[in-house]
């Protein structure tokens, strides 16, 4: 009987699918020291979310028993892909399951920023009727720049266009023909995107290349005016990965007024320190990494990753194998 460790939680329906396939599923968080001591060597597969980090040392301690590492979600920055590939362990994820949920949260943050929804709620609760102070701007007619143009960015583009936004993108890994299908203008450089757009939304992975991609220099390039030369401010949303936005630089831009709003669902260090000056700024609002935290997404994530694990354990590489090209 195949044994599967689920360390960070999983939908009941997905667990049932694994059990119906004849697998023993152990749902339990495993402490770091136990992982380093080889706790996963007793399992054929491990399914993690973001809480469990699968390092080179843990992978080496888990062989030869562990045959599959599965990420119930999209990002795999908590898994050492190079080490897994060297040990011939496939790493699979569920890239499609949370797309719609992240799209909707991104758009929610955009709307919240432009219409001062978090600020309006706070002032109302404090007893103030700040109607005159909370004049916002519309999405209609503004330029939205998407850093990365994968499934989530494409979904955001569709919604933004429905609001009447002019959508631009930068993605060095996609041909321009992909953006053309969505009537999106593809830029050859990220600097060009910042110079053109007053609204920026981030949809790329965190890599050495993208770490602090959004820094003080690029924020300063944002124009602050719409195509009709009306002041609309500059706005940044990140529901992708923490660390892409230089939070110190963004806070400075909020303080000097060049950045009108910053909305983050992800942070460089999570959980974010409650005493962080960024959290105290009136033009910042955030959520605690809840992009995929919907009932629908969690169901899809669980079922998709269960199917991928079963395929991998059968000896076939699933379509969603992240390190496919590095496996022999």
**Catalytic member of 49, 241, 283, 300:** 241
DSSP states of 60-120 as a string? HHHTTT--EEEESSS--TTB-HHHHHHTT--EEE-TTTTHHHHHHHHHHHHHHHHTTHHHH
Say whether 289 is catalytic: yes
**Contact (CB, 8 A) for 323 and 116:** no
Q: Identify the CA nearest to 250 among candidates 280, 209, 220, 291.
A: 220
**Catalytic member of 71, 203, 285, 289:** 289
**Catalytic member of 88, 270, 296, 319:** 270
Kindly report the backbone phi and psi dihedral angles of residue 5, in degrees, each rounded to the nearest multiple of 5, phi listed first: -95, 130
CB atoms under 10 Å from CB of 190, counted, come to 20
Burial 152-176 (b: 16+ CB within 10 A, else e): bbbbbbebbeeeebbbbbbbeeeee
**3-state SS record for 178-241:** HHHHCCCEEECCHHHHHHHCCEEEECCCCCCCCCCCECHHHHHHCCCECCCCCECCCEEEECCC
**Contact (CB, 8 A) for 238 and 244:** yes
- Catalytic residue positions, numbered: 241, 270, 289
């Amino acid at each position: 009987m195949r044994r599967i460790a689920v360390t960070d939680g999983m939908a009941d329906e997905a667990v049932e699918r694994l059990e119906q396939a004849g697998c023993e599923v152990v749902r339990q968080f495993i402490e770091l020291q136990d992982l380093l001591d080889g706790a996963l060597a007793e399992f054929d597969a491990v399914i993690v979310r973001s809480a469990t980090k699968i390092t080179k040392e843990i992978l080496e301690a888990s062989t030869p028993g562990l045959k599959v590492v599965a990420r119930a979600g999209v990002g795999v920055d908590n898994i050492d892909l190079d080490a897994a590939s060297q040990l011939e362990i496939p790493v699979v994820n569920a890239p499609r399951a949370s797309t719609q949920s992240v799209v909707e949260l991104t758009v929610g943050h955009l709307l919240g920023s432009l219409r001062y929804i978090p600020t309006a709620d706070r002032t109302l609760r404090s007893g103030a009727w700040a109607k005159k102070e909370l004049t916002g701007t519309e999405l209609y007619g503004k330029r939205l720049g998407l850093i990365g143009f994968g499934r989530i960015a494409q979904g955001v583009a569709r919604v933004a266009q429905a609001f009447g936004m002019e959508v631009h993108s930068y993605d060095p890994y996609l041909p321009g023909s992909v953006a053309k299908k969505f009537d999106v203008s593809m830029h050859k450089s990220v600097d060009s995107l910042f110079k053109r757009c007053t609204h920026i939304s981030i949809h790329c992975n965190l890599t050495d290349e993208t770490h602090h991609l959004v820094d003080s220099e690029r924020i300063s390039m944002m124009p602050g005016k719409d195509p009709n030369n009306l002041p609309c401010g500059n706005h940044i949303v990140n529901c992708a990965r923490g660390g892409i936005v230089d939070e110190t630089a963004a806070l400075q831009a909020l303080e000097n007024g060049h950045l009108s709003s910053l909305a983050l669902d992800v942070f460089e260090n999570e959980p974010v320190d409650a005493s962080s000056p960024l959290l105290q700024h009136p033009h910042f609002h955030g959520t605690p990494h809840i992009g995929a935290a919907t009932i629908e997404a969690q169901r899809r994530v669980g079922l998709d990753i269960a199917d991928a694990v079963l395929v991998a354990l059968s000896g076939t590489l699933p379509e969603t194998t992240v390190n496919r090209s590095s496996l022999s």
